[in-house]
């Protein structure tokens, strides 16, 4: 019983779980900040081209590898007869691990904000930036730092919830929750969009998001848009392979890929059109130095100025919390699935120990935000060896190097070794005809690898400009 391979309970179950994995903090927390820094409309346009041309083919490939192999990500390549590609699986597994360390802590921040909007919305409104920093262990008024115990406790709680869900089995809880939570998230986003768009001063932000100011676009911007797309679609790590392996044979993976990518992109774009205009309206274009604070800081101005704002604030962070939970659960599921299958360990203790380790490493991430000057190491040819804050180094390493490498491995494997025909066969298994065979083969063999190599080169040659 313990180690039996699960399957999704219903047709909708997979779509919602995959969308649940994809739609997460990346859409609402990361995307608006990057769109803002990347020149607004120009970034948006690039992103909208990247998703169908690069994101969809890679997602389709990962799902096919998973379903054909019926295996966890590390063993998938071996099961398909190509042991030499197991490194791709290892890389994916490791990325999932590093990302979960910080992702779960940001989930803790979100949980903290859920509580804040219940107990002390006025304090958030009074000084949104100060409140955010205060949560992370920095007091701007006194220029003093301290140990952010409260938020660490919230991160602990967040991971505890994830552990319970995973131990109980993903299908029942997660599937059921997603059926309500995902549509609800969408409705709330639409309401917030209307409020943000009608704030005085928001027009400038909307114009910015629609403007094609290519002057702000550098090779870096393309790199950021591409890695953001992979991150947001949960590609380049174990997730879609693992989720694909739980798919029944009669499921149409082509259609599912399209639906998941579309939903994910819709949510990201909507979030961009909420947060960026809200920043312009409440803090001015230079209001927030760092993208990460967007979803936490700038939205306070929106909630303050709407009737029932504290309630909507609460609701918003609650839904963001669920979005973060479904993503974190998918990440931990990928890690645990491998450990239980490969090592034969039992699910419950494996989940608990994994979550404990993730929590401890994540503490370093949270503390390096503001409380302590913990540093990571980074190398690029433009600046040589540098020591950015640990939290940034963790994100750079995964988003800019490891995810692209893993995605490159997948493209190469599927395009040249396992062959696109195998993916076509996998898609057509449910009785449909795959009509875009040539386009798909071309994209997965040439276009996607070239774009990913470009990311890696730009990453290494020019360094990162995001602070």
Nearer to ligand PHE, 310 or 466 (CB): 466
Three-state secondary-structure class, residue 375? strand
**In sequence order, what are the residues at sequence separation of 6 or more whose Cβ sits closer than 8 angstroms to the Cβ of residue 148?**
135, 136, 137, 366, 367, 370, 371
**Closer by beta carbon to ligand PHE, 19 or else 223:** 19
d(CA 116, CA 123): 8
d(C-alpha 177, C-alpha 171), whole Å: 10
Residues 88-127 that bind ligand PHE (CB under 6 A): 99
> How many whole angstroms separate alpha carbon 124 and alpha carbon 302?
12
SS3 assignment, position 378 = strand
The window from 23-31, 166-174, 248-256, 339-347 that contacts ligand PHE (CB under 6 A) reads: 23-31
* Contact positions with ligand PHE (CB under 6 A) in 238-267: 239
Inter-residue long-range contacts of 177-183, CB under 8 Å, 24+ positions, other chains counted: 177/322, 177/326, 178/16, 178/17, 178/19, 178/20, 178/326, 179/12, 179/16, 181/20, 181/319, 181/322, 181/323, 181/326, 182/16, 182/19, 182/20, 182/23, 182/263
Nearer to ligand PHE, 57 or 420 (CB): 57
The SS3 call for residue 66 is: helix
By C-alpha distance, which of 123, 42, 228, 75 is closest to 132?
123
Contact pick of 225, 278, 331, 394 for ligand PHE (by CB under 6 A):
331
Q: Which is nearer to ligand PHE, 22 or 192 (CB)?
A: 22
- Residue placing its CB nearer to ligand PHE in the complex, 116 or 327: 327
Cα 422 to Cα 25: distance, rounded to the nearest angstrom: 33
Selected range binding ligand PHE among 73-81, 178-186, 242-250, 325-333, rule: CB under 6 A? 325-333
Nearer to ligand PHE, 26 or 449 (CB): 26
Binder of ligand PHE out of 22, 63, 306, 371 (CB under 6 A):
22
CB of 267 to ligand PHE, least distance (A): 9
Residue 6 and residue 336: Cα distance in Å, rounded?
A: 13
Q: Could you say which of 15, 17, 20, 24 contacts ligand PHE (CB under 6 A)?
A: 24
Binding mask 213-242 for ligand PHE (x = CB under 6 A): ------------------xx-x--x-x---
What are the φ/ψ torsions at residue 130 (nearest 5 degrees)? -60, -40
When the beta carbons of 133 and 246 are compared against ligand PHE, the nearer one is 246
The closest residue (CB) to ligand PHE is 26
Using the rule CB under 6 A, give the single segment among 16-24, 107-115, 157-165, 186-194 that binds ligand PHE: 16-24
Q: Which residues bind ligand PHE (CB under 6 A)?
A: 21-22, 24-27, 99, 231-232, 234, 237, 239, 327, 330-331
């Amino acid at each position: 019983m313990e180690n039996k391979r699960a399957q999704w309970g219903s047709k909708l179950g997979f779509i919602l779980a995959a969308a649940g994995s994809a739609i997460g903090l990346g859409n609402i927390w990361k995307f608006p900040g990057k769109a803002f820094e990347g020149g607004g409309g120009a970034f948006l346009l690039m992103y909208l081209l990247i998703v169908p041309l690069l994101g969809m083919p890679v997602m389709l490939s990962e799902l096919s590898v998973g379903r054909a192999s019926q295996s966890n990500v590390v063993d998938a390549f071996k099961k398909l007869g190509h042991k030499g590609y197991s490194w791709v699986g290892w890389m994916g597994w490791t990325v999932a691990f590093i990302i979960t360390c910080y992702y779960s802590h940001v989930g803790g921040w979100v949980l903290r904000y859920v509580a804040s909007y219940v107990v002390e919305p006025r304090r958030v409104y009074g000084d949104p930036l100060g409140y955010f920093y205060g949560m992370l262990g920095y007091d701007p008024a006194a220029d003093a730092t301290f140990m952010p115990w409260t938020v660490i406790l919230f991160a602990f709680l967040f991971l505890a919830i994830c552990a319970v869900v995973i131990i109980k089995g993903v299908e029942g809880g997660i599937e059921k929750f997603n059926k309500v939570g995902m549509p609800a998230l969408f409705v709330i986003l639409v309401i917030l969009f209307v409020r943000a768009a009608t704030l005085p001063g928001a027009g400038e932000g909307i114009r910015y998001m629609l403007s094609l100011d290519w002057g702000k676009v550098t090779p870096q911007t393309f790199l950021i848009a591409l890695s953001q797309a992979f991150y947001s679609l949960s590609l380049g790590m174990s997730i879609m392979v693992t989720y694909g392996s739980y798919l029944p044979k009669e499921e149409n993976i082509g259609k599912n890929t399209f639906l998941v990518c579309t939903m994910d992109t819709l949510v990201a774009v909507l979030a961009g059109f909420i947060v960026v205009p809200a920043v312009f309206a409440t803090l001015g274009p230079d209001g927030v130095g760092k993208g990460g604070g967007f979803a936490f800081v700038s939205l306070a101005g929106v909630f303050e100025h709407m009737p029932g704002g504290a309630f909507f604030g609460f609701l918003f962070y609650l839904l963001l919390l669920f979005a973060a939970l479904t993503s974190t659960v998918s990440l931990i599921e990928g890690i645990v699935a491998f450990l239980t299958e490969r090592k034969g360990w039992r699910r419950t203790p494996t989940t608990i120990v994994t979550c404990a380790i993730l929590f401890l490493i994540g503490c370093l991430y949270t503390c390096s935000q503001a409380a302590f000057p913990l540093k990571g190491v980074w190398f690029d040819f433009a600046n040589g060896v540098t020591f950015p804050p640990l939290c940034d180094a963790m994100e750079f390493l995964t988003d800019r190097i490891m995810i692209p490498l893993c995605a490159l491995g997948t493209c190469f494997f599927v395009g040249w070794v396992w062959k696109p025909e195998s993916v076509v066969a996998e898609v057509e298994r449910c009785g449909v005809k795959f009509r875009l065979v040539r386009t798909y083969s071309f994209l997965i063999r040439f276009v996607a690898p070239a774009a990913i190599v470009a990311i890696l080169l730009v990453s290494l040659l020019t360094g990162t400009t995001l602070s």
